[in-house]
Structure 1
Amino acid sequence: MSSEKNPLSPRIDKNGNLDILIAAAECFMEQGYHAASIDDVARRLGSTKGRIYHYYRSKTELFFDVHREGMRRNFEAVTPVMKGPEPAAQRLSAMFRRHALSMMENLALEAVVVQGVEMHRFSATTPEQRRTLAELMTVRNDFESLFKRVAYEGVEDGTIRTSDVSVAVKVALGAINWLSIWYRPRPSETRDDREILADKIVESIMQGLNAPG
């Protein structure tokens, strides 16, 4: 995270080309990385594939930027509630809740984050790709560390009780990240519906930590 180039910085201007990333994320989620093609992304965009190749040399580079955007949204969701006067358990609960909502509201992007990196760790062949994958894995670890940091504070202030913070946080994030596998929004679903589901998930997680939800 401290390198000269922020690993979350996209190769392109997100504001002008976010639709490329969203279309690619939807293709990767629905078809899988190997089956989806640049042609598929272009068709979803209603454009030529030349527009995509103007910014990306390969499907792998496009995948990396989808991952970056998904992680950027994760950080953006949870960091505002990390600090404050509230007990650590309350802040950790808020972080889990925001992450769950981010998963549901950015489903295609987050599905790529959850399902894709491990696959690419073994399929990337160039030194540049391997360097990028290492950066992206570091970003994911940094994200997990945010939750560990607050959980340790909870152990110290007595609002969280667990024998192993690292395992507890991994289990909790795994439960939330699994939304990318089983969750699909209903046609009539509202923000309130997603908040209710997020609350139920977080309540179960916090009960496992012997802490108030």
Structure 2
Amino acid sequence: MARPKSSQHELRRDEILDVAAQCFADRSYAAASMNDIAAACGTSKARLYHYYESKEAILYDLLDRYTQRLLAIIGQVEATAQRRSLDDRAAVHELVRVFLEEYEHSATRHIALLHDTKFLSDTQRDLILDRQRDIVAAVTRFLRRAYPKRMDSRNQTAVTMMLFGMINWTFTWLRPGGPMSYAQFAEEVIGMLERGLDGAAA
């Protein structure tokens, strides 16, 4: 019988993923090597192979965990909305805030999701892309409930992707400690949703 992995083993994998995501962001996935990741982790390549069999395995675990995390956030917001009896618009606002809070602390993972999914095997890529579609579909449901007069079958994809367009690329320009925080930007996005969607429907 195989011995179960310890919590320390999983903690070490988390640390490796943090370092690898930074390496991929700094060097690009294609340019980063297992030697680079091992050096950044302060360990040997042989020790790194104890946790991951290849750079591709690291990338897949990174994106697998991250997309599961984003789906979990959606579930958490739905539960919070029910527990706090939030109306549909307040639920969307909460979703924007929590997504941007996550993005602030997961910028390198988000870069990998947007740039490096193409390097996965076909089966792995399909799974990650399916998760991304599930995320988009869930956000569409939030928006459709919050803005029923504005969202219809003709424009709901465009409106959902407009929202993602506002928040998905913050890692390129929104810096922690800069003139605007992620929390402040979340309120700007919420204000744009309220004024823009209401104004367009008027």
Cα displacement (A) at 1:210: 2.1
Tell me the secondary structure at the aligned position of residue 51 of structure 2: coil
Number of the residue aligned with 1:172: 163
The alignment yields a C-alpha RMSD, in angstroms, of: 2.4
1:63-102 to structure 2, matched below 5 A, reads 63-82=59-78, 83-84=81-82, 85-102=85-102
- The answer for the alignment partner of 1:5 in structure 2 is none
Deviation for aligned residue 1:75: 2.5
Taking structure 2 as the reference length, what is the TM-score of the superposition?
0.81
Residue 24 of structure 2, aligned match among 16, 23, 28: 28
2:34 maps to 1:38: yes
Q: How many residues align?
A: 186
Q: Mean alpha-carbon deviation: is it higher for 91-100 or for 66-75?
A: 66-75
Taking a change above 3 Å as real, the CA distance of residues 92 and 14 of structure 1, as seen in their structure-2 partners, is farther
Q: Secondary structure of 2:175's partner?
A: coil
Which amino acid is 1:145 matched to? A
Q: Which residue of 2 aligns with 1:56?
A: 52
- TM-score by structure 1 length? 0.77
Matched position secondary structure for 1:36: coil
Query: 3-state DSSP class of the match of 2:86?
Result: coil
Q: State the partner residue of 1:8.
A: none
Contact 1:93 1:206 (C-alpha < 8 Å) held by counterparts: no
Q: Which runs of 4+ in 1 moved over 6 A?
A: none
Identify the residue that residue 148 of structure 1 maps to in structure 2. Answer: 140
Equivalence for 1:7: none
Once the two structures are TM-superposed, the CA of residue 180 in structure 1 deviates from its matched residue by 2.5
Letter in 2 for 1:47: T
The aligned residue for residue 114 of structure 2 is 114
Q: Answer yes or no: is the 8 Å Cα contact 2:13–2:51 preserved in 1.
A: no
**How far, CA to CA, are the matches of 1:52 and 1:90 in structure 2?**
45
Contact 1:38 1:59 (C-alpha < 8 Å) held by counterparts:
yes
- Aligned 8 A contact 1:68 1:136 in 2: yes
Q: Percent identity?
A: 21
Aligned to 2:189: 201
CA contact (8 A) 2:92 2:142 kept: yes
Per the TM alignment, residue 86 of structure 1 is displaced from its structure 2 partner at its CA by 2.2
Q: Is the 8 A contact 1:69 1:109 kept in 2?
A: no
CA contact (8 A) 2:103 2:110 kept: yes
- Structure 1 residue 206, shift from structure 2 partner: 3.7
Alpha-carbon separation, structure 2, partners of 1:205 and 1:61: 39
State the Cα distance separating 1:53 from its structure 2 match: 1.4
Q: Is the 8 A contact 2:16 2:41 kept in 1?
A: yes
**8 Å Cα contact 1:111-1:181 kept in structure 2:** no
Q: CA deviation at 1:209?
A: 2.3
Tell me the amino acid that sits aligned with residue 124 of structure 2: T
Unaligned runs of 5+ in 1: 1-12
